[in-house]
Structure 1
Amino acid sequence: MFEKLRIIFSIPELRKKVMLTIGLLAIYRIGFHIPLPMIATNLDSGAGGGAADFFEKVSVFAASDLRQATIFGLGIMPYISASIIFQLLGSVYKPLEELKKEGEAGRKKLNEYTRYLTVVICLVQSYMYLKFMLMAGSNGQSSINPNFMNANEQLFFGWQIVAVLVMTTGTVFLMWLGEQIDEYGIGNGISLLIMAGILAQMPKALYELVLGMKTELTGLAKGQVGIETLIILVVLFVVVVFGVVFITLGQRKIPTQSAKFTRGRRVYGGTRQHLPLRINQAGVMPIIFASSLLMIPGVLFGFLAGQFASDGSLFRGFNLISLTMSDQTSYFFNLLYVGLIFFFCYFWTAITFNPKEMSDNLRDSGTFIPGYRPGRRTTDYLEKVMVRITYVGAAFLGLIAIVPTIVYGSLGVPYSIAGFYGGTGLLIAVSVAFDLVQKIDSHLVMRNYRGLLEGAGGGTSPVV
């Protein structure tokens, strides 16, 4: 392992890319701890219950922490939202669909539109965040420094503009950092920013685990981390990571064969190849969509309940719905969670995977699937196969999504620890790590070195 790391840093071009990437990620982490000038306290000091859970969930895939009002408070989520919006519109809006087919020029134009939409989303989100989270406070008390308030105990309008512009500029700067990593560094910049935010939470989580650990047998008592609990956590973590890696790299390889043709006295074509279809075609998007959608009812009905008297029937009804949708350990919540993951798995796969376009590409290249005529029959076959393997991928995502809840509910360990045993964070970390390894391997292979993982780095994947 150390020899392979030595080889990486002995190649000047690769060493420069790796060091630049590390430096840009360090800049991101430094800015993560610079607060807005008008903030007196962080939101986590006053936030509790549903608000704290909301901030913790959003922070996983936003490359930020909404409980800390910093210059990077919004993280990279506005850019991700803009990218998702254009990806969805690209499948239903004809001009954008044609723009995607224009190659590099079309991709640059889409990126330009995405940046503009990111700025608009940032302006809206930063103002809403300032108005309802910082100025009002999650518990009814403002988090603003009194020195920045006017006679009406409101933040001066000029400072409101400054706060909105600073948070918008912070997100745009993160977007620029990601693009610099894409162009001059190594790996996917936006994904690396998100993974850096996830991994940065590990030391704190491990500290909490060690702090509450007992060096004796506790009989798996709930809420007590003993020796046997620690062994179970370690074994479970290895098993979950192995499963995530297996499904992330898993493929269904469809055998294909190219048509033979004669040119002069030589016969070309007729070779047998494989068309790889990923089991988890949708990636981490279904969990992001499902978890984001489930956040809304709990927060919304909790807000509505606060508008009525505590002894009224409307308060009790809204509060019951809010508590039910916020209880992650309840059977109803997890059943709804898994159901939404299945729905968004098929929804996102239908958007990103086009069997007709793939069938047309096979036909145009003179390739066919043995036993299926090019055209409609090939399209139907590819669609049938994708539906079947998507079911397996959705079941896996559903299981991974509720593993943290199971660990949290059965063993009683802190949720910050249980969150590393599944869910969005683990899937993102594994996916980004493999993408980074494959990018590094491509540089090593070009220089006749062996890859970091030899098999997986070279593209070998589990076949189902």
Structure 2
Amino acid sequence: MLEKLRIIFTIPELRYKVFLTLGLLAIYRIGFHIPLPMVSASESGGASDFLERVSLFAASDLRQLTIFGLGIMPYISASIILQLLSTTVPALAELKKEGQAGQKKINEYTRYLTVGICVVQSWLYLSFVLTTTGTGGEGNINALFLNADGTGLAFGWQLTAVMVMTCGSVFLMWLGEQIDEHGIGNGISLLIMAGILAQMPKALFELFGSMEPKLTGLQAGNFGIETLILLCVLFVSVVVGVVFITLGQRKIPTQSAKFTRGRRVYGGTRQFLPLRINQAGVMPIIFASSLLMIPGYGLDFIAQAFDNDNSFAKLLRTMSGPLLDQASFVFNLMYVVLIFFFCYFWTAITFNPKEISDNLRDSGTFIPGYRPGKRTTDYLEKVMLRITYVGAGFLSIVAIVPTIVYGSLGVPYSIAGFYGGTGLLIAVSVAFDLVQKIDAHLVMRNYRGMLEDAGGGVSPVV
């Protein structure tokens, strides 16, 4: 492995791409240490817990207001919205079929939509921070930026904060595109992974700082040797599972038709059509966790508007309790149901069996035992439904294990979430994609790939 790493830095073009990518990621991390001078976010109460969960998927730290406070999530949201609309809006569907020119136009629409989402999210986020302590948020505002009567942040400075955070997210979008074009790997994915990995050392330090070097019997809130061993086992298990599922494929045999040209016969070769087991990736977990947070915090927020003795407020708190308690059976059951739903939903959006069937027929390729056309489409859809069930089950296990550890052992979410959950799933998946792209450069120059000895070129078949 050390020899292969040395080879990477001996190739001038690849060395330039790697250093450029590292430099752009360093700029990305530096921006998270440049706070807005007007406001400092509050880390008290349930707000801190809520912001911590959202920060995991936004590749940012929403607990403090910085120039990159929104992270790259507005661009991801805009991309998801355009991708969903391209399946329902005829004009966008036609652009998608135009190839590179159409995709360039869709990317332009995505940038415009990103700016709009940034403005809305930054304004809502700023309003949320200003209401966390005191009327108008005086406890969070720098005294130099208060209104003339000292009751809140001046409107002009609010607009300035919104513009700065909007420009910060747009700049991150530009950084991701520069990595795509001049660096190595998927730029947006690398930004998300860098945000997750940057918070892992803090979580690890927090774990060892609160751990007691003795046996505690896995008591909630007491971090002993058993807790450390359990977290290590979860870490290794999730990494192994993510690697297996990420590389796992259902290979469908295909055969091209024979045709004669002159005195020679061409075609007739047997190939495989690979279908990924986890076709939806990590998106179902992001959708499910985001959607599951809204009812609990929403009901609790509405209940705060009434007196504690109000019967309606008690009903709302009774309903929001199981949704906010990650150790509850109701929370985990709804979490699994939503993950399965979004797995099938996202797969239906991104995987089009009819389009694949038409492409096979146009290229003179068919699946043995199935006629081209509707029968091939139905077969591909049936296979994808079955393997999606396996992928959804795996994502459900990865998602609920940290919530169970968080609720039953009292381990902080910053630890349970990163060392055995979604953060680890994203990091491992993006790392594999990065290594595969580096391997492509090495193989093109007649070098052996980094994962060649480890079986990186062979995917598990189901």
- TM bucket normalised to smaller: over 0.9
Work out which of the residue numbers 355, 358, 380 in structure 2 matches 1:357.
355
- Report the Cα offset of residue 414 of structure 1: 2.4
Q: Percent identity?
A: 76
**Contact 1:256–1:275 (8 Å) recurs in 2:** yes
Partner of 2:3: 3
- Alpha-carbon displacement from aligned partner over 1:257-307 (angstroms, at most 9, x marks no partner): 110111111111111100000111011111111111011112211221121
Partner of 1:262: 260
- Report the Cα offset of residue 326 of structure 1: 1.2
Q: 1:439/1:274 Cα in 2 relative to 1: closer, same or farther (>3 Å)?
A: same
Partner of 1:32: 32
**Contact 1:441–1:457 (8 Å) recurs in 2:** no
- Alpha-carbon displacement from aligned partner over 1:104-135 (angstroms, at most 9, x marks no partner): 1111100000000000111111111112x222
Distance 2:377 2:21 in 1: 42
State the AA in 2 paired with 1:9.
F
Partner of 2:100: 104
Partner of 1:61: 57
Q: 1:347/1:6 Cα in 2 relative to 1: closer, same or farther (>3 Å)?
A: same
Distance 2:174 2:225 in 1: 46
Task: Please say if 1:19 is aligned against 2:19.
Answer: yes
- Report the Cα offset of residue 235 of structure 1: 2.2
**Contact 1:99–1:106 (8 Å) recurs in 2:** yes
Partner of 2:42: 43
Work out which of the residue numbers 421, 424, 428 in structure 1 matches 2:422.
424
Kindly report which structure 2 residues correspond to 1:63-142, keeping only aligned pairs within 5 A, or say none: 63-131=59-127, 133-137=128-132, 141-142=137-138
Q: Structure 1 length as normaliser, TM-score?
A: 0.96
Q: 1:338/1:457 Cα in 2 relative to 1: closer, same or farther (>3 Å)?
A: same
- Report the Cα offset of residue 138 of structure 1: 5.8
- Report the Cα offset of residue 377 of structure 1: 0.4
Kindly report which structure 2 residues correspond to 1:169-184, keeping only aligned pairs within 5 A, or say none: 169-184=167-182
Partner of 1:337: 335
Partner of 1:372: 370
What are the ranges of 5 or more consecutive residues in structure 1 without an aligned counterpart? Answer: none
Partner of 1:308: 306
- Name the SS for the 2:66 alignment partner: coil
- Alpha-carbon displacement from aligned partner over 1:218-260 (angstroms, at most 9, x marks no partner): 3333332323332232222111110111011110000101101
State the AA in 2 paired with 1:42.
A
Partner of 2:184: 186
Distance 2:417 2:134 in 1: 25
Task: Please say if 1:384 is aligned against 2:382.
Answer: yes
Q: 1:304/1:228 Cα in 2 relative to 1: closer, same or farther (>3 Å)?
A: closer
- Name the SS for the 1:121 alignment partner: helix
- Report the Cα offset of residue 19 of structure 1: 0.5
Q: CA RMSD in A?
A: 1.5
- Report the Cα offset of residue 408 of structure 1: 2.3
Kindly report which structure 2 residues correspond to 1:427-438, keeping only aligned pairs within 5 A, or say none: 427-438=425-436
**Contact 2:326–2:407 (8 Å) recurs in 1:** no
Task: Please say if 1:324 is aligned against 2:322.
Answer: yes
Partner of 2:391: 393
Distance 1:353 1:455 in 2: 32
- Alpha-carbon displacement from aligned partner over 1:54-92 (angstroms, at most 9, x marks no partner): 211111111111111111111111111100000000001
Kindly report which structure 2 residues correspond to 1:213-232, keeping only aligned pairs within 5 A, or say none: 213-232=211-230
**Contact 1:253–1:275 (8 Å) recurs in 2:** yes
**Contact 2:292–2:323 (8 Å) recurs in 1:** yes
- Report the Cα offset of residue 459 of structure 1: 3.6
Distance 2:6 2:254 in 1: 41
Q: 1:77/1:456 Cα in 2 relative to 1: closer, same or farther (>3 Å)?
A: farther
**Contact 1:451–1:457 (8 Å) recurs in 2:** no
Distance 1:393 1:292 in 2: 20
Kindly report which structure 2 residues correspond to 1:219-258, keeping only aligned pairs within 5 A, or say none: 219-258=217-256
Distance 2:455 2:179 in 1: 21
- Alpha-carbon displacement from aligned partner over 1:394-441 (angstroms, at most 9, x marks no partner): 111111110101222343332221112443212211111011001100
- Name the SS for the 1:373 alignment partner: coil
Aligned residue pairs, count: 459
Judge which range, 153-162 or 366-375, deviates more. 153-162
Distance 2:150 2:209 in 1: 44
Partner of 2:154: 156
Distance 1:37 1:274 in 2: 57
